[in-house]
Amino acid sequence: MITPLIIKLGGVILDSNEALTRLFDALVTYRAAHSRPLLIVHGGGYLVDELMQKLGLPVTKKNGLRVTPADQIDIITGALAGTANKRLLAWAKKQGISSVGLCLGDGDSVRVAQFDPALGHVGDATFGNPALLNALLAADFLPIVSSIGITSEGELMNVNADQAATALAGTLGADLILLSDVSGILDANKTRIEEMTTEKAMQLIDEGIITDGMIVKVNAALDAARILGRPVDIASWRHAELLHDLFNGVPIGTRILA
Ligand SMILES: Nc1ncnc2c1ncn2[C@@H]1O[C@H](COP(=O)(O)OP(=O)(O)O)[C@@H](O)[C@H]1O
Ligand SMILES: CC(=O)N[C@@H](CCC(=O)OP(=O)(O)O)C(=O)O
């Protein structure tokens, strides 16, 4: 089978009709021109932040990961595996793409275990069983996968979506593109860095130039590049006119090298 491509969507894109229209237009064009199977993995941390604010609940992040107490995992699951997932499914349907909305637990596609009890229901993701997703791809469905996982004990876990996408890329041996609000990893002058290695990333983290969610993202991308044996791109969904080139392997953001 041709190497599948996983596109991870994060940031405020779920709140932007214009960005989603342009992204799905690019996906329709790509699917018409190429037989390479596509999958979407999505976050939605922004939606969770908004929901927490409405509910008057505090948002606490440790090293870029959301502390997820037992009494909040159900509402977070609702936001990510429910609202975010079904909103994307609705966009795909509107654009005529047959899709299936899933979480990491479906078909054991990604295995999840509790990461650190201090973070509550936060999961650590490793590769799982490719059978379900390969069957869907063979039938020409576009799988849209949220970052909610289920442990072998049957507990729901909130997984950072970059880590979820990396684990799924491992499951499928897929190429991986992480699309975010920013054009790539930025240096101290806010200029996009074209290529990133482990050494360079460690240095920029030490210097406080890579912070917060970008630490999690670059580490996930470095893991993926190592596991897959090929580069992973971090780029922006805002540059819709460049997405087709990006899907074809042209670097437009930061290319993460193993
Ligand atoms: N050096 C950096 N370059 C770019 N973004 C950075 C950097 N350091 C921290 N960030 C922050 O990381 C964010 C991207 O991480 P995150 O919010 O987790 O993305 P997403 O929601 O798309 O997964 C950027 O919007 C920016 O605020
Ligand atoms: C454990 C953890 O931090 N989970 C993330 C999952 C969503 C996510 O990663 O969303 P983005 O990709 O849009 O940032 C969260 O709750 O925000």
In which region does residue 212 sit, left (phi positive, over 0), alpha (psi from -120 to 50) or beta (all else)? left
* Catalytic site includes residue 162: yes
Mean pLDDT, the chain cut into blocks of 10 residues (258 residues total) = 94 93 96 96 97 96 97 98 98 97 98 98 98 98 98 98 98 98 97 98 98 97 97 95 94 95
In this prediction, residue 111 carries a pLDDT of: 98
CA distance 32 to 26: 10
Here the tokens at position 191 are 């200029």
Query: What is the tens place of the pLDDT at every residue in 13-48?
Result: 999 999 999 999 999 999 999 999 999 999 999 999
Q: How many domains does the chain have?
A: 1
Distance 21 CA to ligand 1 centre (A): 23
The three-class DSSP label of residue 53 is helix
Q: Kindly identify the ligand whose nearest atom is closest to the C-alpha of 119.
A: 2
Catalytic residue among 106, 124, 162, 233: 162
Burial class (CB in 10 A: 0-12, 13-18, 19+), 41: buried
pLDDT value at position 1?
A: 73
Its domain, for residue 241, covers 5-256
Looking at residue 151, what is its pLDDT? Answer: 98
Q: Is 45 an active-site residue? A: yes
> What is the rounded distance in angstroms from the CA atom of residue 43 to the CA atom of residue 146?
7
| pLDDT per residue as tens digits for the range 233-251 | 999 999 889 999 999 999 9
For residue 226, the domain's CATH number is 3.40.1160.10
Q: What is the model's pLDDT at position 22?
A: 95
Encode burial over 60-87: b for 16+ CB neighbours within 10 A, e otherwise: eeeebbbbbeeebbebbbebbbbbbbeb
ipTM over 0.95: yes
| Pairing mode of beta strands 38-42, 142-145 | parallel
Provide the pLDDT for residue 139. 97
**Cα end-to-end span (Å), the chain:** 24
At residue 29, the pLDDT reads: 95
Catalytic, 86? Answer: no
Name the 3-class secondary structure at 232.
strand
Angle at 183 between CA 179 and CA 187, to 5 degrees: 125
Question: Would you state the structure tokens that stand for residue 92, as one six-digit string?
Answer: 């795909």
Residue type, 203: Q
Tell me the β-bridge partners of 99.
Answer: 142
* Closest by Cα among 29, 45, 168 to 105: 168
CA separation for the pair 41, 46 (Å, rounded): 15
Do 98 and 90 form a contact (C-beta atoms < 8 A)? no
The answer to whether the beta carbons of residues 176 and 6 sit under 8 Å apart is yes
Catalytic residue among 8, 43, 123, 124: 8
pTM equals: 0.98
DSSP 80-135: IIIIIHHHHHHHHHHTT--EEEE-TTGGG-EEEEE--GGGBSBEEEEE---HHHHH
Closest ligand by atom to 161 CA: 2
Distance, CA 136 to ligand 1 centroid (Å)?
A: 32
